[in-house]
Amino acid sequence: MASRATIEARNPVIDVQKDADILAAATRLAGEDLCSIADLSSAEVRAILKLGHEVKRNPREYRHALDAKQMVLMFEKASLRTRLSFETGFNTMGGNAIFVDQTNSPLGERESVADVARNVERWVDVIVLRTYAHDTITEMAANSRVPIINALSDFEHPCQALADFMTLEEHFGSSAGLNFTYVGDGNNVCHSLMLTGAQLGANVTVATPRGYSPDIEIVTLARDIAQANGCEVRLVQDPQAAVEGADAVYTDVCVSMGFEHESTKRAPIFRPFQVNEALMQKAASHAVFMHCLPARRNAEVSDAVLDGPQSIVFDQAENRMHAQKALLLLLLGGLSNTPSFRGAPGIE
């Protein structure tokens, strides 16, 4: 794992107050939703990551950026990193976070999702959702006048992917041209990683067992974005070939929340896709290992890799907070309350 000094050397300070990507994103994204990485342009993804690095480097500069703002988190699924990183990040910028546990009462059960949105929008400034069905996210967004953030659905996990590529930038300086390999289930995390990698110019290879490939609409969209950005998205079924020369190797659980009933069926299918020391040896010597966590130790990844020197999983977890702080600043117009941004073009 790289030292903080090394990371800072790879990410030189930029003048964020004059950065064209950040200033344009602050104007375009204010009041918008983030349901999918596809909601963002390549420039807007770059802006979030640039601002994420800045917020991480100078947190005190943003401690009053969201004064008196209210954020509600409505979660149908259990959470450690997502909940704490959102709550802590929002609180450290002057806002107040409210958590509503929906694990025993899914959204839409007691009253319609539309009615929930029309109530909640009158009390808070942003709604963060962690749901089983992606349709819940999009329906809430269609009926809410305040921004909706997808904090995980069965189709995407955009905040995770933003933090992951922020972490890659810390370790490599840039995502452009990186060879990024995902091994495992073509799930929600995989979808967001494919889109984000394509937006940033990374070459993305996805290795899944037959029948567990990512959604074809996501694949098509990611390839279109990749073509525009001079990179490529490949799908393969051989994990050995997929990691050959990779700069980053990523995996996730093969049984996502909501699919626990398939555990017995999936275990033997995904066994050859375990990321272990032998598989990592096929990657580049400088390769890093990544996982969104929680991990099922010695299932999709061996202890030796998860706890080894190539693992940057806890850097990823840390950066959830910083990437999400940057996103919240842009969606809620928080840069106008930041001293260094006052008077910047387009910042009111």
pLDDT, tens digit, for every residue of 88-98? 999 999 999 99
pLDDT band at 342 (very low <50, low <70, confident <90, very high): confident
Does residue 4 have a pLDDT over 80?
Answer: no
To the nearest whole percent, how much of the chain has pLDDT over 70?
95
Q: Say which CATH class 4-156+318-337 falls into.
A: alpha beta
- Residue 236 pairs in a beta bridge with 207
Out of 130, 134, 191, 322, the active site residue is: 130
Whether 187 contacts 165, CB under 8 Å: no
* pLDDT, position 12: 65
The larger pLDDT score, comparing residue 332 to residue 264, is at 332
pLDDT, tens digit, for every residue of 150-171? 999 999 999 999 999 999 999 9
* pLDDT, position 14: 81
pTM: 0.95
**Does residue 302 come out as left (phi exceeding 0), alpha (psi in the -120 to 50 range) or beta?**
beta
* pLDDT, position 259: 67
| 237 tagged catalytic | no
* pLDDT, position 13: 77
| 35 tagged catalytic | no
pLDDT band at 302 (very low <50, low <70, confident <90, very high): very high
pLDDT band at 348 (very low <50, low <70, confident <90, very high): confident
Cα–Cα distance, 45 to 186 (Å, whole number): 22
- Residue 250 pairs in a beta bridge with 182, 290
Cα–Cα distance, 100 to 183 (Å, whole number): 34
Out of 157, 171, 191, 322, the active site residue is: 157
Cα–Cα distance, 90 to 113 (Å, whole number): 24
pLDDT, tens digit, for every residue of 188-243? 999 999 999 999 999 999 999 999 999 999 999 999 999 999 999 999 999 999 99
R_g of the chain, CA atoms, integer Å: 19
pLDDT band at 345 (very low <50, low <70, confident <90, very high): confident
Out of 134, 171, 191, 320, the active site residue is: 320
| 130 tagged catalytic | yes
Q: What is the 3-state secondary structure (H, E, C) of the chain?
A: CCCHHHHHHHCCCCCHHHCHHHHHHHHHCCCCCECCHHHCCHHHHHHHHHHHHHHHHCHHHHCCCCCCCEEEEEECCCCCHHHHHHHHHHHCCCCEEEEEECCCCCCCCCCCHHHHHHHHCCCCCEEEEECCCHHHHHHHHHHCCCCEEECCCCCCCHHHHHHHHHHHHHHHCCCCCCEEEEECCCCHHHHHHHHHHHHHCCEEEEECCCCCCCCHHHHHHHHHHHHHCCCCEEEECCHHHHHCCCCEEEECCCCCCCCHHHHHHHHHHHHHHCECHHHHCCCCCCCEEEECCCCCECCCECHHHHCCCCECHHHHHHHHHHHHHHHHHHHCCHHHHCHHHCCCCCCC
Question: Residue 205 contacts by C-beta under 8 Å, 6 or more apart in sequence?
Answer: 179, 180, 181, 182, 233, 234, 235, 236, 242, 246
* pLDDT, position 11: 67
Out of 46, 154, 159, 160, the active site residue is: 160
| 286 tagged catalytic | no
Residues in the chain: 348
In CATH, the number for domain 159-315 is 3.40.50.1370
Whether 168 contacts 197, CB under 8 Å: no
Out of 252, 291, 316, 324, the active site residue is: 252
pLDDT, tens digit, for every residue of 238-295? 999 999 999 999 999 997 666 677 788 899 999 999 999 999 999 999 999 999 999 9
The larger pLDDT score, comparing residue 345 to residue 224, is at 224
Does residue 339 have a pLDDT over 70?
Answer: yes
* pLDDT, position 2: 58
| 157 tagged catalytic | yes
Domain boundaries, the chain: 4-156+318-337, 159-315
* pLDDT, position 344: 85
Question: Residue 90 contacts by C-beta under 8 Å, 6 or more apart in sequence?
Answer: 66, 69, 71, 96, 97, 325, 328
Task: Please give the structure tokens belonging to residue 209.
Answer: 């067992």
* pLDDT, position 264: 86
* pLDDT, position 6: 56
* pLDDT, position 9: 53
Does residue 7 have a pLDDT over 60?
Answer: no
**Amino acid found at 88:** T
pLDDT, tens digit, for every residue of 108-152? 999 999 999 999 999 999 999 999 999 999 999 999 999 999 999
* pLDDT, position 255: 76
pLDDT, tens digit, for every residue of 16-53? 999 999 999 999 999 999 999 999 999 999 999 999 99
* pLDDT, position 44: 98
Out of 292, 315, 322, 324, the active site residue is: 292
